[in-house]
Structure 1
Amino acid sequence: MRNAVRKLRATTDKTEAAALYPKVTKMLDKLAKTNVIHKNKASNLKSKLAIYINKLA
């Protein structure tokens, strides 16, 4: 999980980041569903990643 989030945050290309985003969110949702991470933690990560992607030029 951490590596996928790091990889997405390290991406500077908006199209590449937008392509990775659904895969990362799906993984976060699965981890939250199985109680590996808290559901609010998954939600916060998804929100911050979406904001990051929207800020990319």
Structure 2
Amino acid sequence: MANHKSALKRIRSNEAKRLRNKYQHKTTRNAIKKLREMDNKKEAEALFPSVVSMLDKLAKKNVIHANKASNLKSSLAKHVAAL
């Protein structure tokens, strides 16, 4: 068990950040899945910028690796273009 005030605070803040990261990561994964299942090009083009934004934010906060975000954006762009 932590003995210092700062260590207790760090435990609390780490848990809050972990839950926030988990929520944002899951939300992004669901948005990617939704985009991949779309058949309508117009709807996919409308959703694509928001998914890219989500991926950029996750990469910026180091929830996912920057290269993984880049690879996902590339594959999603190809998917939308192919519709």
- TM-score of Structure 1 vs Structure 2, range by shorter chain: over 0.9
User: Counterpart of 2:77 in structure 1: which amino acid?
Assistant: A
Match of 2:59 in 1: 32
Taking structure 2 as the reference length, the TM-score comes to: 0.67
Q: Per chain length, whose mean CA-contact separation is higher, i.e. which structure has more relative contact order (CA < 8 Å, sep 6+)?
A: 1
Cα displacement (A) at 1:37: 0.2
Q: What is the RMSD of the two structures over their aligned residues, measured on CA atoms?
A: 0.3
Count how many residue pairs are aligned between Structure 1 and Structure 2.
56
Match of 1:16 in 2: 43
Q: Which runs of 4+ in 1 moved over 2 A?
A: none
In structure 2, list runs of 5 or more residues that go unmatched.
1-27
% identity of equivalent residues = 62
Taking structure 1 as the reference length, the TM-score comes to: 0.97
Match of 1:51 in 2: 78
SS at match of 2:63: coil
In structure 1, list runs of 5 or more residues that go unmatched.
none
